Amino acid sequence: MLAKILSTSYLGVEGYPVTVEVDISSGLPAFELVGLPNTAIREAKERVRTALKNSPYPFPPQRITTNLAPADIPKQGSYFDLPIAIGILAAQNVIPTHSLNEYAFVGELSLDGNIKPIKGALAMALTVRDLNLKGLILPRENYQEVITVQQIELIPVSNLKEVVDFVQTHQYKRPDTISPPEPAEPCDIDLKDIRGQHFARRGLEIAAAGGHNLLLIGPPGSGKTLLAKALPSILPPLTEEEALEVTRIHSIAGQISHHSTLFTQPPFRQPHHSITPAALIGGGRIPVPGEVSLAHNGILFLDEMTEFRRNMLDQLRQPLENGQVIITRNRYRLTFPTQFILVGAANPCKCGYYGDPITPCICSPKEVKKYFQHISGPLLDRIDLQIQVSRVSGKELLSQHRSESSGEVQNRVELAREIQRIRFVSERFKLNSQISPARLAQYCPLTSQARQSLTQALEQLQLSARGYHQIIKIARTLADLRQSTIIQLQDIAEAIQYRSLDRIYR
């Protein structure tokens, strides 16, 4: 007897349907599993056998052949345990089969028949929705994660018996109280707690408003890390579409707590400088998202950026430029989205005090020059805002003058973003930093004065074409923050001074 059970899997961030076919025939007792399973799936045999026995449901002493179709895509993960077990029961006619093709099943079995949480539940629920199926049977722990997918019936189950009961009666235990989604991790750093640093605060505001990349350079203890960590507090919350994208990636990477629902705040990722290329960009035999994708729609913060290996930083160039990484394996190409704001923090030189008014720098001019060569030119060229963070003086530190709070800055950022949303409504990109060179003239009208000073700067600073474009884009954001449609001289003038590295290290 043959049974077909629907399930889903994912490759990259896209889900796809999988049909689990189970055939039971007479012959030498054996349990065969085909359809390019990896080790975790192959071991499903023992989990399914034991879970069925302990639930207790019959496990036939017959020849069981299981196929995971489409058979040419390598599959991984433990979430086929449940569909295989249900398939074995259906093939023995232990459970009715007429309604099975309306629901998809995913879940990992433990030996006692309990169902354990899986990775990527959100991607799977979205696939089920796109396939126009009636519902998804999934582990109870994953329920909160997918609760926002409302177009399909979500049936949370905690053991095999509940699944069988559902298939027989179409009744299931609804979660008694839907616990309110855990408040997003409060951003515990508020701009109002940061004294002084007016220049850097302005930089953060621009970065947040236009999605520009930012590099903070300053001596040790000047507050670079603190400033970077305050950036999430002024970013607007994610839109529903962005939240789905972010949660889907985190769900596939298994970086999600089972108590929270959608991400509402932009993610903030801070990889250590010992990170490997695969962990940064994404990779593996069956590729999983890396830090750049986990930072999608949020912030990738590289503290002590000069300590990262040079080739590691250079790998960021493609994701920064294209907003996605493409990972190619011999059977398929996967695209992971990587629209993030890059925030780097670094000391100005090896000893850390170059340009500091108090502590003298002990580096030789050659060493100073060499220090930033660690970050390659092409990467630095992609960082629009290069900001010097100087030490906060004792007077500023002790002053009772209240700094502006994150909330106030966030309001201005949201206004600027709203202007951009309306302006780019028919475009594929959303933020000023993503304007393509072809559209620059259309979206960034300059006054003649502004144009003149830009031409001058171009000659004097020997800017690259990209540098030229970036100055215009930053000026666009500055104009948006002022709520002006035309870019004026003051915007251009301010934008130019944020490209400070060229000036200092040349």
Candidates 20-28, 281-289, 382-390, 418-426 — which segment interacts with other proteins by CB under 8 A? Answer: 20-28
CB within 8 Å of 39: residues ≥ 6 apart: none
CB of residue 28 vs other proteins: minimum separation in angstroms?
5
Is residue 93 involved in binding other proteins (CB under 8 A)? no
Q: Which residues pair with 18 in a beta bridge?
A: 7
Which residue in 205, 200, 195 sits closest to 218, CA to CA? 200
Is residue 27 involved in binding other proteins (CB under 8 A)? yes
CB of residue 49 vs other proteins: minimum separation in angstroms?
9
CA distance 147 to 177: 13
Closer residue to other proteins, CB minimum distance, 25 or 411: 25
Candidates 25-33, 150-158, 407-415, 429-437 — which segment interacts with other proteins by CB under 8 A? Answer: 25-33
Buried b (16+ CB within 10 A) or exposed e, 78-117: bbbbbbbbbbbbbbbebbebeebeebbbbbbbeeebbbbb
Tokens 């995913």 sit on residue? 106
Helix (H) or strand (E) holding 386: strand 385-388
Is residue 39 involved in binding other proteins (CB under 8 A)? no
CB of residue 318 vs other proteins: minimum separation in angstroms?
43
CB of residue 132 vs other proteins: minimum separation in angstroms?
36
Candidates 19-27, 80-88, 329-337, 347-355 — which segment interacts with other proteins by CB under 8 A? Answer: 19-27
Is residue 32 involved in binding other proteins (CB under 8 A)? yes
Q: Is 62 exposed, middle or buried (0-12, 13-18, 19+ CB in 10 A)?
A: middle
Show contacts with other proteins in window 338-367 (CB under 8 A). Answer: none
CA distance 239 to 234: 15
Contact yes or no for 118/106 (Cβ under 8 A): yes
Which residue in 120, 31, 24, 142 sits closest to 75, CA to CA? 120
CB of residue 37 vs other proteins: minimum separation in angstroms?
12
CB of residue 163 vs other proteins: minimum separation in angstroms?
24
Which residue in 134, 129, 143, 194 sits closest to 170, CA to CA? 134
CB of residue 83 vs other proteins: minimum separation in angstroms?
19
Binding mask 55-74 for other proteins (x = CB under 8 A): ------xx------------
Which residue in 232, 229, 237, 236 sits closest to 194, CA to CA? 229
Closer residue to other proteins, CB minimum distance, 59 or 103: 59
Candidates 6-14, 21-29, 386-394, 447-455 — which segment interacts with other proteins by CB under 8 A? Answer: 21-29
| Near other proteins by CB under 8 A: residue from 1, 2, 29, 441 | 29
CA distance 302 to 298: 13
**Number of residues this chain uses to bind other proteins (CB under 8 A):** 11
| Near other proteins by CB under 8 A: residue from 12, 18, 21, 31 | 31
> At how many degrees (to 10) do helices 44-54 and 81-91 cross?
60
First-to-last CA distance in the chain?
Answer: 77
CB of residue 164 vs other proteins: minimum separation in angstroms?
22
Is residue 112 involved in binding other proteins (CB under 8 A)? no
Helix (H) or strand (E) holding 324: strand 324-328
Closer residue to other proteins, CB minimum distance, 30 or 326: 30
122 three-class SS:
helix
- Establish whether the linkage from the previous residue to 237 is cis, with ω within 30° of 0: no
> Identity (one letter) of the amino acid at 303?
D
The CA-CA-CA angle for residues 92, 118, 246, to 5°, reads 140
Q: What are the strands of the beta sheet with 214-217, ordered from one edge?
A: 268-269, 299-302, 341-346, 214-217, 385-388
CB of residue 108 vs other proteins: minimum separation in angstroms?
21
| Near other proteins by CB under 8 A: residue from 25, 257, 359, 364 | 25
CA distance 258 to 119: 10
Closer residue to other proteins, CB minimum distance, 61 or 365: 61
Candidates 28-36, 126-134, 319-327, 454-462 — which segment interacts with other proteins by CB under 8 A? Answer: 28-36
Q: Which residues pair with 288 in a beta bridge?
A: 283
CA distance 205 to 287: 35
Candidates 22-30, 326-334, 432-440, 455-463 — which segment interacts with other proteins by CB under 8 A? Answer: 22-30
CB of residue 154 vs other proteins: minimum separation in angstroms?
35
CB of residue 113 vs other proteins: minimum separation in angstroms?
19
> Identity (one letter) of the amino acid at 388?
Q
CB of residue 63 vs other proteins: minimum separation in angstroms?
8
Closer residue to other proteins, CB minimum distance, 27 or 186: 27
Closer residue to other proteins, CB minimum distance, 61 or 407: 61
CB of residue 50 vs other proteins: minimum separation in angstroms?
13
Closer residue to other proteins, CB minimum distance, 28 or 358: 28
Closer residue to other proteins, CB minimum distance, 65 or 447: 65
Helix (H) or strand (E) holding 209: helix 198-210
Stated length of the chain: 506
Candidates 26-34, 91-99, 286-294, 418-426 — which segment interacts with other proteins by CB under 8 A? Answer: 26-34
Binding mask 441-470 for other proteins (x = CB under 8 A): ------------------------------
Closer residue to other proteins, CB minimum distance, 30 or 71: 30
Contact set with other proteins (CB under 8 A) = 25-33, 61-62
